[in-house]
Structure 1
């Protein structure tokens, strides 16, 4: 059954025809919009569009970007950026209109906003891969025209990330100049992340050495706290003493955030003593991301402001059933997706990520992929997952899980 609701008059985003609209909700939960006159329209990504313009959009032939048209588009993007027509990660309405006019003049073809936005998003993805390649794999800084490396080096890097292949023998000047200008301040790169300060493996084998290490750090921490208090009382710079104490706390992190012995072998007592969690006997912990409000320089705020609406850091944490953190990776920009941070953590051995072994696994939420070692819940528009979803409803029958998938999700989310 379809339900309707009268809406305000709107105009087509292309031909500016005024249309009185009515919203319809169909059985699949999709919102459609039609008009009383003169034609029907849809509420697409760029606003209401009349059926005539929509037909032109649907029937358009796919444009093949050649080197010249792509260069023209990049140049136009730089012009609009310098005019201040980019808000956050995308251009504003004036910026898109100017880009459409510019491409019409240069190519003789009429583009729409969706086509140019798709190309812009592709450029943004390429910048992420390029930044990762240059910053993590090569250690190169400054402007380079190409990466001069051996065949074996490239083969090893491409094995870790197939996207690296596009930069092999490629001319990189555009990435170091124009791409950097367009995306460096708005695209999450994770170049300010930090994780635990691990001790060398040779030192960590000795319990006596560990004991001495802890005692020395405890003394250092107390001394620094004393100096900080003294400095504040003497009206010295609080900033300096704060960072001295913070540095000491970071040194202690490896002794606080760490794995328990045999974490991959034993069944956690939390699960062993709770019958309803026995199906999760091989689970060793959970992984999730949390957003922490942050104070960021204004020129870098764009890439830190995500769905929260204010600047945050996205922090990835791993914790066990003793409620201890076993891994923390902080510093990612708020616009970075949980899945991206997770995938990078798995690919970077220097982070010492605590991988599950054998049949062991972590539980992860809907933002992660369901793969070996990482168990995600069932997904679907009509499948509940969050505990809050099961708390809604006036009767027990309405709140109870419906079917095996929801029953699994209920226990998965509450474990």
Structure 2
């Protein structure tokens, strides 16, 4: 067995190990997926909505926030207009005239994290909720999240994100994708390892976020970074599977790639910033699992791509030189072998693929999508998941160039 085969086998083993972890977690906690602590009291909450050129969505978002079930006088809504060039501010002002709990902040464009930090100074709530301007929480979402904060060690709670726009094939695949992500994230909640508090709807303990200095404006995914910051300080994060928020997703491939490039870049930024926590925070799940798990995911994906490219290039060169010297009457390369052990790779690759299908099927069965046929899961795995390599390669290219611009819609 050559080195290349060995490396790929290690990657398969790690992948299988992680799949089995999720299957075991599901079998143990499946009856508790939708459970949530009923709040004994309702803290005051400030809902922050950063908005940039969102005139088409902001009105519906505000209507959803006004409809949230929460005691009267206990919530405020702050919309931060981040230098929009459309009618976003005008749409919001119509709501402020009728609803005293809504405040509009106008500011020059500086990005989402800066907008949130700007608004943090004006918040009065014990809790801070962040809602994307194109996201729409269910009426009972807050009620199913705030109970977690009765544990003083909990500093952040996130929700289950579902897809609102499902018109095209890419949208339908993302319905499946978001369902698996939410299910996996809830399973991680049972072992104190929720490592992302999503942008569509997450709630934070105000005192903790302010003490930590707010959101990092240099990170392309401030929702991932703030979660890791909170975890690195010894706090807990939670996920309420029953608290649902719908969000709009990209329906064309170009916009989807831009979004995923940003996610990959931000994720790599976060890993680079906090990887030392594997050693300094080894006494909790952040050090034991979260940092190694996410770091390994990026490293294995990158190594897999690089090894495949190297294999194709070296193998091509090898065959070209072999043919050249064979024509000259010399066969130097008969002493060398450059190939995969395909028997081993096919066996473990097939095993990994079958386990992945079972893993996906289990996740869909416990989500809003319901059980999916093996054919649909195969289509999702082969046609959609295979696309992940494109934004990852693009992100690595941007990272190598030092180009960390904000990739938005």
Check whether TM > 0.5.
no
Higher-RCO chain (CA-CA 8 Å, sequence separation at least 6): 2
Larger radius of gyration: 1
Question: Which structure: greater helix fraction?
Answer: 2
TM-score, scaled to structure 2 = 0.28
